[in-house]
Chain A
Amino acid sequence: MRFMVIVKANKDSEAGVLPDQKILTEMGKFNEELVKAGVMLAGEGLHPSSKGARVRFSGGKRTVIDGPFTESKELIAGFWLWQVRSREEAIEWLKRAPFDETEVEIRQVYETAEFAPSDPTGEIREREQKLREVVASRRGSP
């Protein structure tokens, strides 16, 4: 199973201040350990929200809101994607991460099979497939 590990933003990450050498080294070591254990599938750090934007949906209306966003506890600064055997394994790995003062969240990623019950006959998937074929054939024609 896979888990997304969500690292929250803080004042520094929102200010675009890169972590200092010590933290970078420790984090590099931790990442190396994850890779050596075959656990890490992906991991990325995010630019501050000042470089991001939001699109608000309200009925048929779409409104674009430019960053930065103020509620920094709700913002994320980075994420990992881990492959583990259990939720407990993800927690144990996370406990080894070199964080100091923060809260890091793990969330299990849905596997496709888990979507099946809502589409027992595969009808929705078939329809999506047809749609994709149409899109692909249009893309193919000049």
Chain B
Amino acid sequence: MTVTPTDPGRTIEAIWRIESARLIAGLARMVRDVGLAEELAQDALVAALERWPESGVPENPGAWLMATAKRRAIDELRRGQRLERKHAELGRELDAARELSARDLDSAIDDGVGDDMLRLVFTACHPVLSTEARVALTLRLLGGLTTDEIARAFLVPEPTIAQRVVRAKRTLAEAHVPFEVPRRAELAARLAPVLQVIYLVFNEGYSATAGDDWVRPALCEDALRLGRILAELVPDEPEVHGLVALMEIQASRLRARVGPRGEPILLLDQDRARWDHVLVRRGLAALERAEGLGGALGPYALQAAIAACHARARTAAETSWLRITALYDALAQLAPSPIVELNRAVAVAMAFGPAAGLAIVDALVSQPQLEGYHLLPSVRGDLLAKLGRLDEARAELERAASLTRNARERELLLQRAAAVKPGSGT
């Protein structure tokens, strides 16, 4: 029997993952600078790494890290005379804090935690930053990932991510981005890039755009965790629950969509018994929460509702394609895009036959946005095969294979091309 001893380094890493976002958020409120807050938190982590292996982990490691980081903050502010005003602010906070007992202080910090976390979310996804920078900063500040972990997840060199984080922090400082939650009127607009970042991380894990693996589940788990955290921070925003629902339901299929040899298995061919029913249930509950808040469904909730149609069908044959078609119609109205249109074509083909689907797809062929997008010839190839236009079908599937950057997916598309024979489409 092998035993797994508890490793102090890994324990500190775990504490960091639990505490870092709250720590950085709390410090950022005090020093009004996310970059500095992150450095202070890192310093506290280094101190913990030096001390805890010998002294043992303190009873309340979060409070220890915060106290250490605050001390560094004061040192830092003393050194930088230019920050006099901030010093005064910090001094006031500390004076006030000294009057409270340790327990009171903890609960005072706890009360503000939600707001601080939200401020951190909106700062990390601020519109002055590029999407790439938002992703890196969100995973680092809110997900507690190291630059190395982020780099490995996105298959880029570590210095690239480190650079991205440094530049993002500089951009925030130079643009004097305030550490605050947007006002009610702006909230929905400012929430959009936050949701986009989380979904982008999820999708990179769910169908890797590059590399040999078809899925990277750890990245999906990180995105889900961020989504679940956000859902508790802004519980009244239906789209947040919509996004969480969408991710939970999609993630429920993770283990069913990869075959024993690592090959992708498409939704309708998946063994539904292998879906993760804990996540299905969570996804359906999140969708209910989104719907329960009233109003028309947003794009994420609509996509979640479509995913829920599949989740509720016991077998692929029981899928309600009519309802899915209606939901895609709504989605195409609300957030029209060639990709939505392509998906709508698939649903229409299932509900009303391949010819109806092909008519929509053919209208998309000239769309510049879909040029080079492998799923267009892939869908078109399938529909052509079902209509018995076999040579065209084979050519489309081969073209799709030549366009994808994912090795596993290419293999699958070539297999499908080779399998196009008279009668195979029916």
Q: List, in ascending order, chain B residues with CB within 8 A of A83's CB.
A: 221, 224-225
CB < 8 Å: which of B6, B227, B271 contacts A38?
A: B227
Cα–Cα distance between A89 and B225 once the two chains are bound (Å): 14
CB < 8 Å: which of B13, B217, B218, B260 contacts A116?
A: B260
Cα–Cα distance between A120 and B114 once the two chains are bound (Å): 47
Shortest CB-to-CB span from A84 to chain B, Å, is 8
CB < 8 Å: which of A38, A113, A122 contacts B224?
A: A38
Q: How large is the interface on B (under 10, 10 to 19, 20 to 34, 35 or more residues)?
A: 35 or more
A24 touches B (CB below 8 Å): no
Q: List, in ascending order, chain B residues with CB within 8 A of A36's CB.
A: 114, 229, 232-233
Cα–Cα distance between A87 and B221 once the two chains are bound (Å): 15
B189 touches A (CB below 8 Å): no
Q: Is the Cβ of B15 less than 8 Å from the Cβ of A92?
A: yes
Q: Is the Cβ of A37 less than 8 Å from the Cβ of B271?
A: no
A88 touches B (CB below 8 Å): yes
Cα–Cα distance between A85 and B144 once the two chains are bound (Å): 11
Query: CB-CB contacts of B205-233 with A at 8 A, as 1s and 0s?
Result: 00000000000011001001111110011
Contact status of A38 and B13, CB under 8 A, knowing A112-B274, A122-B259, A132-B273: no
Q: Is the Cβ of A89 less than 8 Å from the Cβ of B18?
A: yes
| A residues 81-96 in Cβ contact with B at 8 Å | 81, 83-89, 91-93
Q: Is the Cβ of B282 less than 8 Å from the Cβ of A86?
A: no
Q: Is the Cβ of B225 less than 8 Å from the Cβ of A38?
A: yes
Query: CB-CB contacts of B279-293 with A at 8 A, as 1s and 0s?
Result: 100100000000000
* Nearest neighbor of B61 in chain A, beta-carbon distance: A92
Q: Is the Cβ of B228 less than 8 Å from the Cβ of A38?
A: yes
CB < 8 Å: which of A38, A87, A136 contacts B315?
A: A136
Q: List, in ascending order, chain B residues with CB within 8 A of A128's CB.
A: 271, 273
* Nearest neighbor of B225 in chain A, beta-carbon distance: A38
Q: Is the Cβ of B282 less than 8 Å from the Cβ of A41?
A: yes
Query: CB-CB contacts of B1-18 with A at 8 A, as 1s and 0s?
Result: 000101100110111011
Q: Is the Cβ of B17 less than 8 Å from the Cβ of A89?
A: yes
A129 touches B (CB below 8 Å): yes
Cα–Cα distance between A37 and B143 once the two chains are bound (Å): 10
B314 touches A (CB below 8 Å): yes
Q: Is the Cβ of B14 less than 8 Å from the Cβ of A92?
A: yes
A102 touches B (CB below 8 Å): no
Q: Is the Cβ of A42 less than 8 Å from the Cβ of B229?
A: no
A18 touches B (CB below 8 Å): no
Shortest CB-to-CB span from A139 to chain B, Å, is 9
Q: Is the Cβ of B7 less than 8 Å from the Cβ of A88?
A: yes
B255 touches A (CB below 8 Å): yes
Q: List, in ascending order, chain B residues with CB within 8 A of A88's CB.
A: 6-7, 10-11, 13-14
Shortest CB-to-CB span from B15 to chain A, Å, is 6
Contact status of A120 and B260, CB under 8 A, knowing A91-B14, A113-B255: yes
CB < 8 Å: which of A35, A89, A111, A120 contacts B232?
A: A35
Q: Is the Cβ of B13 less than 8 Å from the Cβ of A86?
A: yes
A119 touches B (CB below 8 Å): yes
A51 touches B (CB below 8 Å): no
* Nearest neighbor of A96 in chain B, beta-carbon distance: B18
B278 touches A (CB below 8 Å): yes
Q: Is the Cβ of B232 less than 8 Å from the Cβ of A125?
A: no
Shortest CB-to-CB span from B9 to chain A, Å, is 9
* Nearest neighbor of A29 in chain B, beta-carbon distance: B110
Q: List, in ascending order, chain B residues with CB within 8 A of A93's CB.
A: 18
Known: A39-B225, A88-B13, A128-B271. 12 other contacts (CB 8 A): A36-B233, A37-B18, A38-B228, A42-B278, A85-B17, A85-B221, A87-B6, A91-B14, A92-B15, A111-B255, A119-B260, A122-B260
Question: What would 26 A/B residue contacts be, using CB atoms closer than 8 Å?
Answer: A36-B114, A36-B229, A37-B225, A37-B229, A38-B224, A38-B225, A38-B229, A41-B279, A41-B282, A42-B278, A83-B224, A85-B14, A85-B221, A86-B13, A88-B10, A88-B14, A89-B18, A92-B14, A92-B15, A112-B274, A113-B258, A125-B271, A128-B273, A129-B271, A132-B271, A136-B315
Interface residues of A (CB under 8 A from B): 35-39, 41-42, 81, 83-89, 91-93, 111-113, 116, 119-122, 125, 128-129, 132, 136
| Chain A to chain B: the 5 pairs with minimum beta-carbon distance, closest first | A122-B260, A38-B228, A88-B14, A38-B225, A89-B14
